[in-house]
Structure 1
Amino acid sequence: MSAELRALRNDRGVTCLDVADALGCSESKISRVETGARGLYPDEVSAILGFLRVPADKRKELLRLLREGEERNWHEVSEAMSPMWEELSRAEQGVAAIRNYEPLLIPGLAQTSDYTRALMRRLNPDLSEADVEKRVSLRRRRQRILGRLGAPDVRLIVEETALRRAVSGADVMRAQLEHLLALNRRSNVVVRVVPFSVGAHAGHEGPVMLLDYVAEPTFAYAEIRALNSFIEDSAPVERIKSSWRQISAVALSVEDSARRIASVIGDLTGHEERAS
């Protein structure tokens, strides 16, 4: 579908910028739609087809195929899950670098299955076990980019609060923290910690996620409760970049972060020994 949209635009002799101006969005958004790096939504595709003056019969057929494909793909994951999760996974496939700061929880790209499972159960107590497992599966699928050929450069910053927050039992938390240490030994992944000793800082405004591309502008992703959005306008993206720089400035070095994580693992072990 993405390739067909690009072919239809080329046949009309217009540029991505022409389409973007007509639809009131960014040129990079249209480019990602055409390369498959961004999910396709029927209302957006309909608007593009309308601007390109695609005949009604052709437009109707393409939208039918899109909706049928969307329904099949979504069924594989979860009917109860936000489509933005699926779109984020797609957007990350063509990314060169990911920068993610999380103040409260371990970043999704670094979560173990047991940590995700416990988190989903606590955040969504009405979810069935089947839907919990589907969400765990989606997160695992998203994490495959860390080990693929040409994997992106991933920079993760997490508050010490998240390391010590008992999302589940000691065994789950210990395995999660050991996984962070293992990720930090990968050549393409860096995990850093903002310690308790740091006072108020830019990260207290909320999570930060920036996706960098080689030939396209950086954009940000925001997820707050049931609200999810991609931020592409340059002004807010620049502000989020500034926040990332400020958070990076107060985070521990990679080596000191690893020592802090190991210290928390030690605290968990010591607490268990005292409890027994």
Structure 2
Amino acid sequence: MDGLEEEVEGEVSDPRRRFAEECRDRRELYPDRRLNQGQLARMLRTSRATVSRLETCRGSIPPDLPPLLDQVFSTDGLFKRLYEEIVAQSFPAQYRRGVALEREAIVVRQWSPTVVPGLLQTADYARTLLRGGAPRASEEEIKANVSARLARQDILRREAPPDVRVVLCESVIRRQIGSRDIMRGQLAALLTHGAKAAVRIQVLPLDAEAHLFIAGGARFLTGPNHMTVVCVEAYRTVAIIEDPEHVREALRAYDGLTGEALPTRESARLIRGQMEALT
């Protein structure tokens, strides 16, 4: 799901319809006076056409609008919650549970041997990956897929974000995805993310020993109940491992990766050096 596999489904989901209906109803029943689309657009600092698309389920929802709608209509997070449901359902069915678990996680651990994980991708980097995975997709489809992927990053902007622990194979930062400018921007974003208190990024050197996950990536999602599941993804498939013994084995392997990986400061220096080499 972090590389080439994402694909937004064409069918409008129920949360999307409810989002549209709530927006229209609350606009028309606004206290004191009924708002038209233009008036609401001015309150949201957007265009009337955007409000029209929101209310007719056309196109993707700009991620900055749900909290503004909650503010304008005093809806205590209703539009934000609906938006999160829409994002989760915009992924193919096999990925939805993983997205939902990620949204609720208090700890996200990830090992990535090939690309920067979706939680840390820039729009340009994500667009390049998605375009490579779907060369026949329209620009509108690619735009929607990019928006869905970037919306996953909303969890990092919460007042209490999850702890995020990422180990990247050194090849991830050395493999140029897209132009030099795109890759340089992605490496700069990694440094910005890595400077946050809740995020730790480590790089596993190319000469590291073989390990359990050498053939593919894995995400470890720990929920509010402190139970952890492991998501292992391949081409258009995802397996969610919940068996406690297998989860413990996977976590031990991940702990081994963090021990073999460069410390965070050395990892940041390596990332910065690769970024500067692209100037």
Which band: TM-score by shorter chain?
A: 0.5 to 0.7
- From the superposition, tell whether residues 128 and 255 of structure 1 become closer, same or farther in structure 2 (CA, over 3 Å): same
Q: CA deviation at 1:80?
A: 8.6
In structure 2, the partner of 1:92 is 102
In structure 2, the partner of 1:248 is 258
Q: 207, 232, 241: which one pairs with 1:222?
A: 232
Q: Deviations over 1:90-140 (max 9, x none)?
A: 222221100001001001111000000000011222222211111111111
The reply on whether 1:258 has 2:271 as its aligned counterpart is no
Contact residue 208 and residue 240 of structure 1 kept, 8 A:
no
In structure 2, the partner of 1:192 is 202
Give 5+ residue unaligned stretches, structure 2. 1-11, 19-56, 61-85
SS in 2 for 1:109: helix
- From the superposition, tell whether residues 81 and 211 of structure 1 become closer, same or farther in structure 2 (CA, over 3 Å): closer
AA aligned opposite 2:118: G
AA aligned opposite 1:255: R
The reply on whether 1:69 has 2:14 as its aligned counterpart is yes
* Structure having the larger proportion of residues in helix: 1
SS in 1 for 2:262: coil
User: How many angstroms apart in 2 are the aligned matches of 1:224 and 1:70?
Assistant: 28
Q: CA deviation at 1:236?
A: 2.0
SS in 1 for 2:126: helix
Q: 195, 201, 217: which one pairs with 1:207?
A: 217
In structure 1, the partner of 2:122 is 112
Q: Percent identity over the alignment? A: 30
AA aligned opposite 2:219: M
Contact residue 210 and residue 221 of structure 1 kept, 8 A:
yes
User: How many angstroms apart in 1 are the aligned matches of 2:224 and 2:90?
Assistant: 34
RCO greater where, 1 or 2, for CA within 8 Å and sep 6 or more? 2
In structure 2, the partner of 1:131 is 141
User: How many angstroms apart in 1 are the aligned matches of 2:103 and 2:147?
Assistant: 17
Q: CA deviation at 1:257?
A: 0.2
User: How many angstroms apart in 2 are the aligned matches of 1:144 and 1:135?
Assistant: 15
User: How many angstroms apart in 2 are the aligned matches of 1:99 and 1:194?
Assistant: 14
User: How many angstroms apart in 2 are the aligned matches of 1:228 and 1:181?
Assistant: 29
Q: Which moved more, 1:174-183 or 1:234-243?
A: 234-243
In structure 1, the partner of 2:171 is 161
SS in 1 for 2:278: helix
- Runs of 4+ in structure 1 off by over 4 angstroms are 70-73, 75-81
TM-score in terms of structure 1 length: 0.67
Which of structures 1 and 2 has the bigger CA Rg? 1
User: How many angstroms apart in 2 are the aligned matches of 1:68 and 1:128?
Assistant: 21
Contact residue 221 and residue 228 of structure 1 kept, 8 A:
yes
User: How many angstroms apart in 2 are the aligned matches of 1:268 and 1:197?
Assistant: 23
Q: CA deviation at 1:81?
A: 4.4
Contact residue 202 and residue 246 of structure 1 kept, 8 A:
no
User: How many angstroms apart in 1 are the aligned matches of 2:16 and 2:243?
Assistant: 30
Q: Cα RMSD (Å) of the superposition?
A: 2.5
